[in-house]
Amino acid sequence: MERRKPPGTEEGWYALHDLRRIDWDAWRAAPDRERERALEEGIGHLRSHVDLAEAEEGGSAVFSIVGHKADIMILHLRPTLEALDRAERRFEATAFAEFTERASSYVSVTEVSGYMHEELVDGIEDIEDAGMRNYMQQRIYPTIPDAKHVCFYPMDKRREPEYNWYDLPFDKRAEYMSAHGDIGRQYAGKVSQIITGSVGLDDYEWGVTLFANDATDIKHLLYEMRFDPSSSKFAEFGPFYVGRQFQPEDLPALLAGEAVPTDGTDSASGSESGASADADHDGNAEHHDDETSHGGGSSGRPDTSPAHEEVDTETLAGRLGRFGIDLDEHVEAGYGLLFTADADAEALTEAVEGLRGNFEHYDTHVLTAVRADSGTTAVISLWKNERAANTASGFLADLQGVSSGVGASLDGDGEADRGAAASSHGTDADDDIRGELDDLNIYAGKPHGEDVYAMVLYSEADVETVREELAPLAERFGHYDTHVKSAVYANEHGGERSAVVSLWETKEAADTASGFLAELPGVVARAGADESGGFGTMGMFYTVQPEYREDFVETFEEVGELLAGMDGHLETDLMTNLDDENDMFIASQWERREDAMAFFRSDAFRETVQYGREVLADRPRHVFLA
C-alpha cells in the first residue's frame, strides 16, 4: 500500500475568529449606567488588542457581521496559542461580554506549503530565492488589511472514493493548486487573503479570510473558483461569514443600530485617541523587542522628541525624489522623514522591516522603506501627521548606522510643489507634461490610451547575475494578467550599471512587484546625478528594425554629443535589452523640467523623430520619471 508524502509546511501566527451574537433583549432592558460601562470596557478591550498593547506582534481587527449567524467577529493573530487564549478570556471578563454569547469560533494558524515552492521541506530558510522567502514571510506574518469588507469560511478537501484529494500524486495536486492560484491572481489589488491551516486545531482543514473594498469582488472571485476543478471536484465548504470592518470606537453606533463604520471614518482610521502614533495614549502599542525598544523609561515607550532637523517641503521632496519616492503617489502623507545611513542597504533592510511591522499597526503610517542611490543609503518614512512622524523619528534615529535625519511637513503650500520636486514611476505621473508633448505631436503613452506603470531599478552587480536572478521572478510575474514585461537592460556603451525594467498595467501591481525586485543583487535607486535628484525622462520601447540597429546606435552617439552642450543636461544613456538587442530605451537626466522641454521643442529633436520613423519598428513610448 502506497502512502503519499505530505508537502512541507511552515507556520506563523495562530488565528482566532471569535464570532459573537448580541443579546439584544438584555441590551435594551439594561439601565443606561450598565450600558455605558459595557461600552467603555468593550471599547477599551478591543482598542488595546487592535493596538497590540498586550502583545509584541500579531494583529487584531473587529467586524460587524451581516445576517443571522453572528453580530460581531473579532479576529486575533498572535505568536502563540497562549496569547490567543488570553485575548479570548480577557474579553469574557469585560462588562460588554455579558451582553454577548458565542455564536461560533475558529482556531487555526497561518501557513504556507510545499505547493507554493517545492524546496519548502524543513523551513522557509531552505528556500534559496530571496524574493520567494520574503513573499512566504508576508503570508505567515500578515498585516490585517484595512479593507471595508471581510468574508471568512472554513473548508476541507474531499476524501471520497471518486474524488480523494489525498490520493492524488503531488504533481497533480500542485497542478490543481497552481491553476487555482491563477484565478486568484487575476483579482490582485481587489481581493487580499489570509490563509490558515487548522488540521488538528478545529473541525475543518483550512480557514480562508478574504478582504475587499467591494464585496462583489469577493463574490466574483469565489464564483469563478467554483468552476475550477480544485473546487468543483475536491472542495467542501463550511459556513460563510460576511461583514464590514469597523474601529472599536464605533461600538456604540453598532449597538444603536447605526451604520458602521460611522460617517467620516472608514475602517482604516481610528479616533483621535485610537490607532494613531500618539505616545501619550494609554492604549498605544508598546515596543518590547530588542530592536525597537528605545528610551521612555520602564514602560518601553520611545522618546517622542523628534531626532531630525526640520527642512522645507521642496528640499525634502527633492531628496526623496533622488531615492525614487514620488509624493504624488502618497497624497495622504502629511509629514516625511529621511535618515541617511553609513550602513549597507541590505544590512539595514532587516532591521527596518522589523520596525515597519510595528509602524503598520497605526493608521497614521503611510510608508517606511530603505533606498540607496550612488553609494548613499537612506531610510524614508512617511506619516499622515507630524505628531506620529515625531514618534517614529526616535526609532529611526536609533537604527544602527543611521547618522542624520531631516523632516518636513507635506501639507499646505508644499503640496503644490511636489510634482516638480519629486520623482515618480509611471506613465500617469505627470499629465501636464504629457499634454505639452502631445501638443508637440510627441507620443507619450497615456494620451493615446496605453496606461502602463514602470518600475525601474538600477543594479551595480554583474549583469548576468542580475539576469539570472530576475528570470524566476519574471516567470512568476507572468502568471498575472497585469504584468506586461520584465527585463534586464545593459548600457550599450559599457556603463557600470544595468537596469531592471518591470512594466505593469496597474499601479498596485507595480508597487507589489517592487518589493520583490528590490531583493535583486546590487540594486540602487534610479540614475540621479546630483543631490536634488533633478528631472528624469525615459524613452522606452525603442524597437529598432534589425537592419538599422547599427545606424541607430551611431545616431544616438551623435545625439549624445548634442545633448552634452544643452543647458541643464546631466546624463543620457542608451540601454539595451539583454534578451532582445533591438529593444532599447534611452534614460536621460535633466536638472529641470524646463530644460528637458526645451530639447523636446528643438529642431534637433524633430529631426531625430523624423529619422526614427524610418528605422524604428514601432512608435516610441515615453515613460517619465519626473
Give 523-542 pLDDT, tens digit per residue.
775 433 333 445 566 555 67
> What CA–CA distance (Å, rounded) separates 234 from 230?
6
Does residue 591 register a pLDDT over 80?
no
- Give the domain 301-421 fold: Alpha-Beta Plaits (3.30.70)
pLDDT for 213 equals 93
Given a contact cutoff of 8 angstroms between Cβ atoms, the answer to whether 356 and 340 are in contact is: no
User: How confident is the prediction for the chain on average, in pLDDT?
Assistant: 78
Eight-class DSSP state of 306: -
| Buried b or exposed e, range 523-561, using 16+ CB within 10 angstroms | bbbbbbbeebbbbbbbbbbbbbeeebeeebbeebeebbe
Return the amino acid letter for 168: L
What pLDDT score does 87 carry?
94
Three-state SS for 367? strand
* CATH tag, 431-625: 3.30.70.100
Q: Which of 511, 520, 318, 336 has its CA nearest to residue 426?
A: 511
Q: Are 206 and 27 in contact (CB under 8 A)?
A: no
Q: What Å distances lie between residue 359 and 287, 372, 484, 518, CA to CA?
A: 10, 21, 33, 20
Catalytic residue among 14, 135, 153, 542: 153
pLDDT tens, residue by residue, 167-209: 888 888 888 888 888 888 788 778 999 999 999 999 999 999 9
**Within this chain, domains 301-421 and 431-625 share the same CATH topology:** yes
Instruction: Lowest mean pLDDT of 79-93, 397-411, 430-444, name the range.
Output: 430-444
Who has greater pLDDT, 498 or 17?
17
Residue whose C-alpha is closest to residue 525's, from 449, 625, 438: 625
pTM value surpassing 0.75: no
DSSP code per residue over 194-239: EEEE-TTTSSSSEEEEEEESSHHHHHHHHHHHHTSHHHHTTEEE--
> For the ranges 69-78, 515-524, 579-588, 605-614, which has the lowest average pLDDT?
605-614
pLDDT for 621: 60
7 upstream amide cis, omega within 30 of 0:
no
Domain boundaries, the chain: 9-255, 301-421, 431-625
Counting residues of the chain whose pLDDT is more than 70, the rounded percentage is: 77
CATH 3.30.70.1030 is held by the domain 9-255: yes
Residue 225 has pLDDT above 70, yes or no: yes
What DSSP letter does each residue of 27-49 carry, written as one string? HHHS-HHHHHHHHHHHHHHHHHH
User: 283: number of CA atoms within 13 Å, CB side?
Assistant: 23
In this predicted structure, the answer to whether residue 290 has a pLDDT above a threshold of 80 is no
Which pLDDT does position 421 carry in this prediction?
Answer: 29
> Contact 388/362 with Cβ under 8 angstroms?
yes
Q: How much is the pLDDT for 53?
A: 86
Closest-CA residue to 598 (of 556, 558, 569, 557): 569
What pLDDT was estimated at residue 445?
35
Residue 153 known to be catalytic: yes
Mean pLDDT of 434-451: 42
Helix, strand or coil, per DSSP, at residue 371: strand
- % of the chain exceeding 90 in pLDDT: 32
